[in-house]
Amino acid sequence: MAAISYDDALARNIALIARVCKRPAAEGSRFIDDLALDSIDLVGLVADMEEEFGVIVPEEKLHSLRTVADATRCICELTPERVA
């Protein structure tokens, strides 16, 4: 099975954000400024992403996740040949 593509991961993340946050999101959406998430909300959203993709985002990476694109790249880096 091939690794998940960035575009597939992005589409899944945008759908997840719409479901969980009840807000539309795009690749460049900023979690705090555009989606109005606070740090606790962001940790919860990342936990949902971890569950969705079957990965664990290291705590030290959480501080670098500013946009939907950042989270998507992180997910892609952590999902070599595991997510379809």
Summarize the chain as % helix, strand, coil (round to 5). 55, 0, 45
pLDDT, tens digit, for every residue of 62-71? 999 999 999 9
Q: What is the CATH number of domain 6-78?
A: 1.10.1200.10
Q: How far apart are CA 12 and CA 71, in angstroms?
A: 11
**pLDDT over 60 at 1, yes or no:** no
Tell me the per-residue pLDDT of 44-80, one tens digit each, with 9 for 90 and over: 999 999 999 999 999 999 999 999 999 999 999 998 6
Going by pLDDT thresholds of 50, 70 and 90, the confidence category of residue 84 is very low
| CA gap 71, 19 in Å, rounded | 16
For the entire predicted model, the pTM comes to 0.88
- Give me the half-sphere count of Cα atoms (radius 13 Å) on the Cβ side of residue 28: 0
In contact, 5 and 75? CB cutoff 8 Å? no
